[in-house]
A and B are shown apart, each in its own frame.
Chain A
Amino acid sequence: MAGPAVAQTSPRAGARAFAPGAWVLALAVLAVLVAPLVVSPYYLTKMLPFFAYGVVLLGLNLLVGYTGLLSFGHALFLGVGAYTVSVATTRLEIRSFEVILLLAALTAAIVAAPIGALCVRYVKIYFGMLTLAFGMLFYSFLIKFYAVTGGDQGLRVAQHSLLGLFEARSGERVRFLTGQFYYYAAAVLAILALVMWRIVRSPFGLCLRSIRDNPEKAEYLGVSVRRHRWYAFMLSAVYAGIGGALLGPVTGQVDPTLVYWTHSGNLVFMVLLGGFTSFFGPLLGAFVFIFLQDQIMSVVPYWRLVFGAILAAIVIFAPTGLMGLLSQRPTLPRWAVLRQAPGPEHAN
């Protein structure tokens, strides 16, 4: 399974190789910063799920792209984070969103610890099916334990404050979401992306990639495969929990569809769409998914049909996703290549 590569060349060579990507990243950051000044609130509200899913996918790609474990039940941890926001704001009356994020991360880690310990004993389809099974178990729990979870109606997300300074006043929810909350969520994504960048370039990240490539060889080099997989699973769940917590205030209501298996499928789709072979691929996947879904839904009601066709095309024609396509050097058309090719007199 090919996965993200991490350059380990000399710092100078690395800087040269990364320069175009750094420019694109800088432009993207600039666009995010100025968007509230030039973009309509409608599109800004579409950016909020992008920030939330961006965090979730950074974690999911640690598992898929760096460790080689494909989870089909990752929405479980996203749901844990989202429900934590709801429970924290409505029942525990916690207002500080920073405390809520920490709580969501902690709850996701606690839930992930036993599930991960069991799942990482298996690989490939067995791992995928186990994660799917746990996801559906949690879905059933949310549906059936109405008194605790609100059943299929779910729970609402109550008022909260950002940094103890900003709160949504009544009637100003959209302004709050597209203003303070927008920058807050973008900052959380940026910070967690930096943390993940550091993790994948650490000795731990190297061990994960060795496990993805060849677990047997990694074990003979003294790498504890199961332990590393478990840590990756936990980290991935923590990211999903925080992402889910960011998603809660956006929807204002959390319900069991958040953890349904199709939502897990959407997460995998986003990773594949952007490309799990690159660090930023899943972020691009989340962005394209959200805006493409919005555009297609406004045109045809059968958006899943269109997405299915896109997914099939990606798997067949662009297995490295959009990021893989973008990073390819432009190639000359075949006729131009033939014209440039050396003639028989040059051939050996």
Chain B
Amino acid sequence: MLRVEGVRKLYGDFCALEEVSLEIQAGEFVSIIGPNGAGKTTLINVVTGLLKPTSGTVHFKDRDIRGIGPVRLAKLGMARSFQLVTIFPELSVLEAIQVAIVSRLGRGTRLFHALAADREVRDQALEVAELFGLQDKRDARARQLPQGDKKLLDVASAFALRPECILLDEPTSGVSTAEKNTIMQIVVQASKRMGIRSIIQVEHDMDIVFGYSDRIVALHQGKVLADASPAEIQADEQVMSMVVGRPTH
């Protein structure tokens, strides 16, 4: 589904990514891990078409997506949520989800179409809100939500695009430990219900990474250090100490 081959990204003399190759198949939940400065954010920006790699190729559904930008990428079927909570502060919960649905249905330029009377958009938005446990807060302004709900809304609006592949940049960052597993369970259930085929996440919380991933890609100093199952990664002492910062016992 997503194929990254020999990607290199230079910022001046600094090499952020060095010959990075990875492949994401349909049905996979892949986590990208690595210490700060490993190149995770650069890799995400390259994969989501925001940055053009210095060399190498990125294909999504066999189409070259190097530097195509977020709008065309969304139309192709890839969505993204952000590390820092990214919401529309003055929109209601339902409206924030409707933005994605309106965009997916190609109705974003309809000038005289009453949104409130569009049952298709409303029903789909309510369905997404319900999946993410936000139905009771559907009329609340996004800025008034608690932090955990803001994070859920951020992810929910990306899910509302019904992408084939979704990239979650630290989906549990900034929320309490108690809320982390709840968020992840909601994300996994929602992806099954909405037919999302692949999830790629960047995550620092190793409990979340090992608990939910089918495969883990470990980055270190811009290079792929390991690309293996959670069990194999946990068994690899070198990877654990270099990437996670602790040896296994």
Contacts and interface: CB of A to CB of B under 8 A. Distances in A.
Task: Report the interface size class on chain A.
Answer: 35 or more
B115 A201 contact: yes
Interface string B29-63: 00000000000000000001000000000000000
A113 interface: no
A202 B103 contact: no
B107 A221 contact: no
Contacts of B95: 6, 8, 206, 209-210
Interface string A220-238: 1111110110010000000
Contacts of A212: 90
B115 A221 contact: no
Given A207-B99, A213-B88, A224 B116 contact: no
Contacts of B80: 220
A221 B114 CA distance: 20
Interface string A1-27: 011011011010110000000000000
B70 A220 contact: yes
A214 B71 contact: no
B86 A222 contact: no
Contacts of B102: 203, 206-207
B65 to A, nearest CB: 14
Contact of B115 (A8, A216, A224): A8
Contacts of B192: none
B158 A222 contact: no
A175 interface: no
Contacts of A214: 86-89
B158 A210 contact: no
Interface residues of B, number: 44
A198 interface: yes
A202 B112 contact: yes
Nearest to A226: B71
Interface string B141-168: 1000000000000100110110000000
Nearest to A227: B109
B108 A223 contact: yes
Contacts of B157: 217, 221
A80 to B, nearest CB: 22
A204 B105 CA distance: 12
B45 to A, nearest CB: 12
B98 A8 contact: yes
Nearest to B69: A219
Contacts of A9: 92, 139
Contact of B100 (A2, A5, A11, A222): A222
Interface in A159-210: 195, 198-199, 201-207, 209-210
Interface of B: 48, 69-71, 74-75, 79-80, 82, 86-92, 94-96, 98-100, 102-104, 107-116, 118, 121, 139, 141, 154, 157-158, 160-161
6 contacts: A9-B92, A209-B90, A219-B74, A221-B79, A221-B160, A231-B109
Interface of A: 2-3, 5-6, 8-9, 11, 13-14, 195, 198-199, 201-207, 209-210, 212-214, 216-225, 227-228, 231
